[in-house]
Amino acid sequence: MHLPSVPRRVLVCAVAVPVLVLVGAGCSTTQTEVKGQLEVATGQVVSAGRSATLALSQYQAGKTLGPATDTALEDALTDIASEQSAATSLETTTPQQRALQQRTTRALDRVAEAVSGARSALQQASPGRLREARQDVRTATDGADGWATELGKGAP
């Protein structure tokens, strides 16, 4: 059986174009994917913030010791740092994606700063400062939770 001859240039184009389209599609991150990944990172930070708030409440109620509370806060900070890294290393390609990333980073940074401040207050053993710090963690965590909700509903 004899096949008709096809110019080599046509064959190269027939193979190269679909490959380039597939490679290009794999490299770009859609708005929905960016929002989803930022929402997950923010949700993880909210969880760490809630854990820190609980640890502080338990300590203030006399139900746990300082070293255990310090470990809980340190663990929360480790989790938060991991999610901060994930959010900031996310590849964004549009101004809208960068704006979402920047707002997420600010929310995550607020929680990190609040938990770090609570850890300092715990180490200073200042009951008044510790109450303030716990409220700061709660406020920052609630703010991040609100942002995660907005992301899930399709923030602009």
pTM score: 0.78
Q: Residue 11: its pLDDT value, please?
A: 44
> 152 or 139: whose pLDDT is higher?
139
Tokens 């010791």 identify what position?
A: 65
Contacts of 147 by beta carbon, 8 Å cutoff, 6+ apart: 42, 103, 104, 107, 155
Q: What is the mean pLDDT of residues 107-130?
A: 94
Give the domain CATH number at 146.
Answer: 1.20.120.660
Average the pLDDT over 115-143 and give the result.
94
- The Cα–Cα gap between 97 and 153 comes to 15
Of residues 148 and 25, the one with the higher pLDDT is 148
pLDDT tens per residue, range 55-82: 999 999 999 999 999 999 999 999 999 9
Residues whose CB is less than 8 angstroms from the CB of residue 22 and which lie 6 or more positions away in sequence, other chains included:
none
Residue 6 lies in a domain: no
Q: Does 128 fall in a domain? A: yes
Q: Whole domain around residue 59: which residue ranges? A: 33-152
